[in-house]
Amino acid sequence: MESTSARGLYSLWQKFLPIQLMVIIAAAGLLVGVTGGLALALLNGGIERVPLSGSGSGSVAAGAAPVAPTDLSPVFTPEVQYWKDYIMKWSRQYNIEPNILGTVMQIESCGHYLVGSSAGAQGLFQVMPFHFAEGEDMKDPDTNARRGIEYLKGGLELADGNIGLALAGYNGGWGVIPRGWAGWYNETRRYYIWGAQIYMDAIAGKTTEESAGLQDWLNSGGSILCGQANAILFPQPTPTGATALP
């Protein structure tokens, strides 16, 4: 009886084997298609090109009006908001969308203008020393912004206005822009994802708490950098009667 049941099940399995194979092949094809689509979306930053200096109008999303914000987005943390007037001044001076500057400053320094990295990058935009002219103060906000924005705009030109790719180039060097996702270091991939998400949330008018990208960056160590920046930018007053530390 058991042998007859086993033969019957085997026969039934053979009968429906072609259908099973078709389902498996279709599922595999769907997975490849979705994976490929995600890879292309990541490579393109998930956002359209933005206007470059002296160029015509552009859009952030298909069919959207050109981006021309009059203010810095509320998505950025208080330490970056501290530099709002400067960011708006630099935006006008160098003809670049202010929320791009806010995004770079957020990830690079969180507004800590005195910070330096182990690799030697300096200041608000974490600019490497070889980008400065001899005698320039690398941590002076205006000087640091000028050199950082020059490099950022060069990346935007090479990336044909694609913000995601330009941000990857700002982190990993212009050479990563044509290389593609597979050729990037993990740090550049994370920078790309965080930067693109934060920027899209910025132009959408989201707050710090509403931005999944910014929250992910904060939870991945950004909160430590912001804490250091906060202590520099918003020092606590010495309590009455207390002796200030030297």
The predicted pLDDT at position 59 comes to: 30
Q: Return d(Cα 215, Cα 104) in angstroms, integer.
A: 15
The predicted pLDDT at position 202 comes to: 97
Q: Return d(Cα 42, Cα 48) in angstroms, integer.
A: 12
Respond yes or no: is residue 108 known to be catalytic: yes
In contact, 106 and 198? CB cutoff 8 Å = yes
Bridge partners (DSSP) listed for residue 116: 122
Q: Would you state the CATH architecture of domain 47-233? A: Orthogonal Bundle (1.10)
pTM: 0.73
Q: Which parts of the chain register pLDDT below 50?
A: 1-2, 6, 9-10, 12-14, 16-48, 50-67, 242, 244-246
The domains of the chain are located at 2-41, 47-233
In contact, 49 and 161? CB cutoff 8 Å = yes
For 69-90, how does the pLDDT look when each residue is reduced to its tens digit (9 = 90+)? Answer: 579 999 999 999 999 999 999 9
The predicted pLDDT at position 60 comes to: 35
In contact, 170 and 153? CB cutoff 8 Å = no
Pull the structure tokens for residue 174.
């212009």
The predicted pLDDT at position 7 comes to: 54
Query: Which is catalytic among the residues 2, 48, 108, 210?
Result: 108
Give 154-160's long-range contacts (Cβ < 8 A, gap of 24+). Answer: 156/50, 156/52, 156/96, 157/52, 160/49
The predicted pLDDT at position 28 comes to: 41
Q: Return d(Cα 93, Cα 63) in angstroms, integer.
A: 28
